[in-house]
Amino acid sequence: MSGAQAMVLAAGRGERMRPLTDTCPKPLLQVQGKPLLQYHLEALARAGFSDVVVNTAWLGEQIENRFALYPPADGPEPLSNSQQPRIHYSREGRDFGGALETAGGIARALPLLDEVFWLAGGDVYVPGFAFSRAALERFAASGKLAHLLLVANPLHNPKGDFGLRADGLALNTADTRYTYSTLGLYRKTLFAGLPGGNPDGIKAPLAPLLRAAMDNGQVTAEVYSGAWTDVGTPERLAQLNAAPSRAEI
């Protein structure tokens, strides 16, 4: 493998989702009959991405068992090769006893990743999103360090995160700000300040790296207008499951 071109973040504890996440990792919580993580894996497979990195920590063995192509006889029904890419795990829980935060986790997984790659949070429900290979190629040619998918501000984040200039540059400060969807394209160089492979398990957040790169004009963005939900609380999960499925709409 030359390097996976996609990574899904699945290491978080999901504190706000307790007690549901006391016994189930957040990316395995089901929306409309499927684990959240499965939506991303199926979308990546449809786009032709053959390999994906998934980082794990809290109850990570459950994620591996659920998405094993050849699980134990008494395990869950596996997805077929056409429904999911090959998964390469970055086991933060096993190696360091817990999650390394977003940037720390990505840095740990960098040896498994290509120079540019899609990144997605494993706890967002974005049923219509397409991980475009053409978008990845455009980003690679741009030379930028990151390209973010922004969404309209939900009720739980009314002030938003980042602004967007008319020419597509992302901004730290702006009169109009949007919420970072946790979907985006990244270049390894953004994480150059962390040791390659993060062998010491340094915990590091992503936002400071993005903000520093924005100040240097190295981050672009666009607004995604499709259905998107940060499944951050039991109430939001219940609302999604109470709504008509996409097949019924």
Q: What is the pLDDT along the chain (249 residues), one digit of tens a residue?
A: 578 999 999 998 878 878 878 889 999 999 998 999 999 999 999 999 999 999 999 999 999 998 875 444 455 555 555 567 899 999 999 999 999 999 999 999 999 999 999 999 999 999 999 999 999 999 999 999 999 999 999 999 999 999 999 999 999 999 999 999 999 999 999 999 999 899 999 999 999 999 999 999 999 999 999 999 999 899 999 999 997 765 433
pTM: 0.90
Phi, psi dihedrals of residue 241, rounded to the nearest 5°: -75, -20
- AA identity, residue 46: R
Nearest to 147 by CA among 170, 131, 175, 121: 170
Nearest to 120 by CA among 78, 158, 163, 85: 85
**Residue 17, pLDDT score:** 79
Phi, psi dihedrals of residue 26, rounded to the nearest 5°: -55, -40
Strand pairing partners for 223? 150
CATH of 4-242, one of 3.40.50.10210, 3.10.580.10, 3.90.550.10, 3.40.50.300: 3.90.550.10
Q: Burial-class residue 85 by CB neighbours within 10 Å (0-12, 13-18, 19+).
A: buried
Distance CA 193, CA 83 (A): 36
Question: Tokens for 67?
Answer: 């998405």
Contacts of 156 by beta carbon, 8 Å cutoff, 6+ apart: 230, 232
Nearest to 206 by CA among 13, 214, 229: 214
Question: Tokens for 84?
Answer: 């999911």
Question: Tokens for 13?
Answer: 């504890």
**Residue 225, pLDDT score:** 95
